[in-house]
Each structure stands twice: as structure tokens, then as C-alpha cells.
Amino acid sequence: MSKSRVLLLSLGAAAALASIGAAPACAQAQAPALSQAPASCPAVLKHTFKRLQDEAPQDLCQYSGKVVLVVNTASYCGFTKQYKGLEELYAKYAPRGLVVLGFPSNDFRQEDADAKKIADLCYNTYGVKFPMFTSTVVTGTSANPLYAELIQATGNQPKWNFNKYLIDRNGKVLEYYPSKVTPEDPALVARIEKALGG
């Protein structure tokens, strides 16, 4: 056997041994840590809705562990200016775990049928950055599954636009607030702070 062939065989064997030795370390590095598994999703958040700006499906379980304020919105309502306060509330408390979820609805005949116009009002007029979803039904027997659960939990269905439901980090529905309770209302803010643990 030639020296060159012996050398090639030796190099091949060395490479094979190296790869066998490296495999367990590589596999170990890529294995997910069990301690990092996400917390279980509370039942009230086990729903999927389409995002307003592009209709991409959004699993509400991504908000597990957060304090959630759910609001039914409308573009042509006397309370529409509450978008500003809701965004300010979200900006202030998001770092501590609050998320505001906006659900446009034409249940009270004050929402646009054109999703692009709704989005333009939210994002360009009021600078909304909190999650917004496509127009949906929030009252009666046709209420979407999330709102059906919120209504059942509180005994209150939205009576007008910009009604609010507060959900704690564990998925417990804490309170229902009518339209007249603004995002700046001291009682609402205090309840949010308490739910955040502050």
C-alpha cells in the first residue's frame, strides 16, 4: 500500500472519530431547555383572530402571562378619541406586562366596513401601536368566542363602543368597564396597577 493511501485512510479515520466525539456536544447545545417551556395558555386566550393591518392569524396565547385589556372599538363614535388614551396606557404599562387588544366592531353601526380605513384611523390618526384585529361581532348570540367568554364571566356584554374587560396574568376576568370609564380613569388605572403587581 502506498504511503499516500495510508495517509488518506488515517485522515479519514481521524475525521470520523472527531465527528463521533463532537456529535453529543452539538446535540446537547441544540436541545431546548425544559425550564424554558412557555407557561400554559389560559382558556380565555385560546383563540385566534386576524390582525387588522394584514389579516395574518394571531394566536392570543402569545399574551399568556400578561395583564390584558380588551376593548371593542369604532371609528365614528363619540368615544373614538379614547384611542389616544388607550395608546398612552399601553405605552406606559407595556414594559410591566400590560397589553391592550382592540377589536373593531360595527355592532353599533359606527365602524367602517373597509379595514384599510380603520387601520389608517388607528395607526395614522391616533398612533396606535397596541394589537388591533379585524372587525368582529362582540354582542349577542353571534359574539366571537373571546367576547362570549368575557360576557359569560362578567354578566355584561358591550352596551356601546369602547367597553373594556380586564384579564389578569392567569387568565381570570377581573372587571368590566363601560364606555364612560376612560383609559385615564383612576379606578381603571389602579386596578391595572394592582393586576400588574405594582
Tell me, yes or no, whether 53 and 16 share the same domain. no
pLDDT of res. 20: 39
Q: Please tell me whether residues 22 and 102 are part of one structural domain.
A: no
Does one domain contain both 29 and 102?
Answer: no
27 and 70 co-located in one domain? no
Do 63 and 127 reside in the same domain of the chain? yes
Claim to verify: residue 21 and residue 48 sit in the same structural domain: no
- The domain containing residue 7 runs over which residues? 3-35
Half-sphere exposure of 180 (CA within 13 A, CB side): 0
Please check whether residues 97 and 12 belong to one and the same domain: no
State whether 52 and 24 are in the same domain.
no
Q: What share of the chain is helix, strand, coil (3-state, %, to 5)?
A: 45, 15, 40
pLDDT of residue 128: 96
User: What confidence score (pLDDT) does residue 9 get?
Assistant: 41
Same domain, 141 and 70: yes
- pLDDT at residue 7, rounded to an integer: 41
* Residue 41 annotated among the catalytic residues of the structure: no
pLDDT tens for each residue of 71-113 = 999 999 999 999 999 999 999 999 999 999 999 999 999 999 9
In a shared domain, residues 145 and 170: yes
Q: What's the pLDDT tens digit per position in 10-48?
A: 444 444 434 434 333 333 333 333 333 345 999 999 999
Residue tagged 388605572 (cell numbers): 189
**Local confidence band at 198 (pLDDT 50, 70, 90 cut-offs):** low
How far, in Å, CA of 40 to CA of 17, rounded? 43
> Max Cα separation, the chain?
93
Looking at the fold, whether 169 and 104 belong to one and the same domain comes out as yes
Please tell me the distance from the alpha carbon of residue 47 to that of residue 56, in angstroms, as a whole number: 14
The whole-number pLDDT of residue 134 equals 97
Share of the chain above pLDDT 70, in %: 80
My answer on whether 100 and 10 are in the same domain is no
Query: What are phi and psi for residue 47, nearest 5 degrees?
Result: -145, 155
Number of folded domains that form the chain: 2
pLDDT for 42 equals 96
**What is the domain-level CATH number for residue 59?**
3.40.30.10
67 band by pLDDT with thresholds 50, 70 and 90: very high
- The catalytic residue among 26, 41, 61, 77 is 77
pTM for this predicted structure: 0.80
